A and B are shown apart, each in its own frame.
Chain A
């Protein structure tokens, strides 16, 4: 039942916050805060409950809930959690909780409706991480879009409507391709096994011909690649991230992008291991292109928020690289990168949001010398920049290092080119500090430093980054069983396919000889 509560609390909290918004502006904030705190407590409770057991219990899931929903098509309301989902649930609950204090002073209009949307988008994301039925997964996948659309379109900055629309259409169109692919998979399963089912566990191992498997995989990949984002389909991201209000950017960068990574790990690899293997080299190239391209473009930005947005493209490239490489090290690196990027970029967006609230611009050229005005902000920014450039001892380093280590075993050139991305990221990270915080402050400008509320928010995120950088083992342990299973599924299926291919190739040749 805990799983249902985790989704139900933000849903109900959202409705309450909306209703309370008619009376006062503070009530919705406290309702949202307590709802997310409760959710975080539940998620932590789950982690504690299974943290002791080394995640090698019998079934694939730690906990699941299964009720029939649309029996005619074998659709069920099926939530399930394993180590991987648990980590992402924790990340979602934590960032979701922090989004409330972040918007405490920024959001002044329609506070109730804002928190309704905030909590509902979080509920959608939580659902995505828990759904074990493909129809349900698709529903949650779409459910998180509409509140996000409102968050950008109502409380966003100058070009908010354009950005919101672009975001919505990109994700919707790619989502529909996924829906077609889901249905295709279900029909293939129906042909093979004679029953309609959308159950994830049953659909794994559906026999697929090579072409069909490739097409269906591409359908899923389209949806996840847009979310991740992978370079040719990333163009919604800088707009949406830049125009969204701070909490919206935090959720976009910290959580929504992660649903793409999660989808690749959870669905693309296990459902289409052979096709994913065939696509791996293409995906790796795309990942490296993303790493370099995102970093170079980040460096070229003058809008601070856009800069952080492009750095996300670069960082998420490492995640794709890890997934495409598909050995255990790289997968672990990808998961760590997901978590650290969530914390680190979330914190960076909070910082930029706080800056904009104070100096009413995001233009780097108008900044400079902020350190003298606001030393606490400067210190935090320095820390985050170091985390983003991959300083050893902070989380991102572990993630990127593991991914590169894993990639090195598969393809040395790719690993070499990807590491160049680290250099460029150093450049743009330090560039932020130099342009915004160093230099001479204009005499006239007065900037108030971080308040206690803001420092507390930042402290949580920074502590998380340090912890992941110094002692990531608990996190690795939590995800390792899931990742091992995914990796083994893929390897087994690929080797089986290779044998079949070998036999298939040898037989006509032997025929020719005869």
Chain B
């Protein structure tokens, strides 16, 4: 470790220091506002320090971590998402009958895990990052300690541990073959290797795909998703849907692209199959849900399927398309769960579709925000989701992935059905109707959650209407060498 390496690692160090600071503060002085403020300040500081580490000459900090522009982009995305989640959580826990202090601690831990994962350059750091993230998530999911969250947490624990085992075994097999745990070396060896890799390598890759697929909730490793999304509290669900997936996707994208997956037809076929089935299964199951959180869970499965289309495309557009799509997905998913959080009260989250009936006339701003988020998820123009979908289709066409594109188009139409159904429910009914009076009286949204929603909606519209600046930044950052 040289001092230059410390400079490169600053974003992760700042987050880590914040974690320790929050831990100490919480131990001595328990004040919700202070804890939340400290957490978000630490996250913002870590974000603001990204350019410093971006200006460093050598980006590799030991053999374990590499904070090049690609990693920094995803770390930045994770940090911004975490800030939004903290803002949403503050409003949410102010209303809840749960002691919130350790929540922020766990959240920060999970963010550190995500950062390490996105920057990992070695199987050791990959495993470290993944475990820090997962272990924090077990506790986060169970945080409310009532029956449903506990059930979800146990489910996640068992399956995540199992999938991690797959991943480790896959890593071990690759180590047995190549004699190294450094990901770039393995990727280079795979890229230079014979067209048909040996059985051990194939088995290793297959096992790794299982582990990664679980984290990304791709079909057929998606079975945990709906239950966990439903069981965890809305801000935690937002975290699982965004940060945890984004970090894993960054690693997947980088090393699978570098190892030349696209030249191996069998692997390409597997990923295409996973992408297409994820889209169909996710959308068709979402179609049947009357629980909004479960619906969003299945829709997120489909969205990762769309994202894989960018991953499958190997052209120069692929990396920017994936980056933009993920950013748009982050914004909309955070926004959607932000609305659910903001509508929650002391012991209840609005989950059933019926609770949204006539929301347009009771809570017009919330309904409008939710509509924007849903339209973005559906990929309607002038929202960020459309720009993402546009780029993904463009990247797919550039590399002629026609089957995946056709699936994407058909699935967009299926998806539209259930997104629009929520909108339709929200504008059905009148404020005078009897059912509205049976609903609990609406609390005004907490300022913190509301301001997060305003920012997210602003970003959504801004990216949707004028994406040129973002595209410029992203193209400069995420283009992988070679």
Contact = CB atoms under 8 A, between A and B. Distances in A.
Interface in B86-110: none
B467 A138 contact: no
A177 B405 CA distance: 10
Given A153-B424, A161-B428, A172-B412, 6 more contacts: A142-B380, A145-B380, A165-B417, A172-B413, A183-B397, A187-B394
For this complex, into which size category does the number of interface residues on chain B fall? 20 to 34
A139 B381 contact: yes
- Where chain A touches its partner, the secondary structure class is helix
A150 B471 contact: no
Contact of A180 (B393, B424, B430): B393
Contacts of B386: 142
A420 interface: no
B476 to A, nearest CB: 11
B95 to A, nearest CB: 28
Contact of A165 (B397, B424, B475): B424
B187 interface: no
Contacts of A154: 427
Interface in B451-471: 466-468, 471
The 10 closest A-B pairs by CB, nearest first: A173-B413, A139-B381, A142-B381, A176-B409, A70-B468, A72-B471, A183-B397, A183-B394, A161-B424, A154-B427
Contact of A153 (B381, B427, B430, B466): B427
A143 B464 CA distance: 12
A177 B409 contact: yes
Contacts of B420: 149, 165, 168
A133 to B, nearest CB: 13
B397 A187 contact: yes
A143 B382 contact: yes
B381 A72 contact: no
Contacts of B416: 168-169, 172-173
Interface string B399-412: 00000010001101
Given A138-B381, A180-B405, A169 B427 contact: no
Interface in A24-70: 68-70
Nearest to B467: A70
A208 interface: no
A194 B84 CA distance: 41
B253 interface: no
A172 B394 CA distance: 18
A169 B393 CA distance: 19
Q: How large is the interface on A (under 10, 10 to 19, 20 to 34, 35 or more residues)?
A: 20 to 34
Given A139-B381, A187-B398, A179 B472 contact: no
Interface string A69-80: 111110000000
A109 interface: yes
A146 interface: yes
- Secondary structure of the B side of the interface? helix
Contacts of A464: none
Contact of A146 (B380, B393, B394, B475): B380
A22 B472 CA distance: 41
A183 B393 contact: yes
B265 interface: no
A393 interface: no
Nearest to A162: B424
B261 interface: no
16 contacts: A69-B466, A72-B471, A138-B381, A142-B380, A142-B386, A161-B428, A165-B417, A172-B412, A172-B416, A173-B410, A173-B412, A173-B413, A173-B416, A177-B409, A180-B397, A180-B409
Contacts of A169: 413, 416-417
B375 interface: yes
A184 B399 CA distance: 11
Nearest to B432: A109
B343 to A, nearest CB: 21
B421 interface: yes
A146 B375 contact: yes
